[in-house]
Amino acid sequence: MSDVRICRDVAEVAREAAAEVSRIAEEAVAARGRFAIALSGGATPRALYEELAREPWRDRVDWTKTNVFWGDERLVPPDHDESNYRMAREALLSKVGIPDANVHRVRTELGHADAAARDYEREIAKLFGLPTGSAPRFDLVLLGLGTDGHTASIFPGTTAVHDDWRVVAPVWVEKLHAHRVTLTVPAINQAAHVMFLVTGAAKAHVVGEVLRGVKHPDHVPAQLVAPERGTLLWILDEPAATALMG
Ligand code: 6PG
């Protein structure tokens, strides 16, 4: 069952989400001595990352016990304008005391999506102390939502939609003419907490499709996100939530 919180604007979404991240982080460190989070990319989460870099959240999260991963990455260099890693580093990671060893980016310099995906899967397995390919249980996976119903880089019509045997998948996205690397649906659904952050009127229709629409995951892959033993929270601003109101 999804918990949906509707905020007045992007600033309130960022504050609400930062409070949730901080709460989950404290819970994870208390229970397991570490907090493993998969960040989302795109533009929406920047406001959250900038909020987490400010008081009171910056000091509430124990960054020395936090391990940061990405839910997906574009196959571009880490200093590229399109890099999800670069955005998070600029908005958050460069401003908090997180050890470099705790930042686990997708090594896109390996050149091929498949090689980068295999390498990233090994990196994840190492942190979780799992055999490579076993689904990790992230404490928190942050997700965004595309107007076409994609989340992470699980785009409609791509092989990622039905990839249920890997933790990390390479994916060719024809509409973008681009390679991506993404956590798969099973990996996301193993998380203890999954949080969608969606803002803006342009997303209102697709939010309605995911939360209220006919189940058609091939067309709306975000409908596949259903944590098996975890919570699912949507934090929306009012413009993105209009299909849910009234
Ligand atoms: C990415 C993201 C992707 C994003 C959606 C929404 O790498 O692009 O991980 O899944 O969350 O495309 O992007 P915006 O927040 O920019 O609308």
Distance 150 CA to ligand 1 centre (A): 8
Q: Is the CB of 44 under 6 A from ligand 1?
A: yes
Quick one: which atom of ligand 1 is closest to the CA of 203?
17
For residue 196, give the nearest of 156, 154, 159 by alpha carbon. 154
Report whether residue 152 contacts ligand 1, using a CB cutoff of 6 Å. Answer: yes
- 126 vs 26, 34, 119, 129, 226, CA distance in Å? 22, 14, 11, 5, 25
Q: Quote the ligand 1 centre to 145 CA distance (angstroms).
A: 6
Structure confidence by residue, pLDDT tens digits, 41-76: 999 999 999 999 999 999 999 999 999 999 999 999
Cα–Cα distance for residue pair 7/121, rounded to 1 Å:
35
Torsion of Cα atoms, 242 then 18 then 66 then 82, to 10°: 50
Residue 58, burial from CB neighbour count under 10 angstroms (0-12, 13-18, 19+): middle
pLDDT at 1 over 70: no
Ligand 1 contacts CB of residue 146 (under 6 A): yes
Q: What is the pTM of this model?
A: 0.98
- CB of 43 within 6 A of ligand 1: the answer is yes
Segment 141-199, tens digit of pLDDT: 999 999 999 999 999 999 999 999 999 999 999 999 999 999 999 999 999 999 999 99
Name beta bridge partners: 170. Answer: 181
Interval 20-42 mean pLDDT: 98
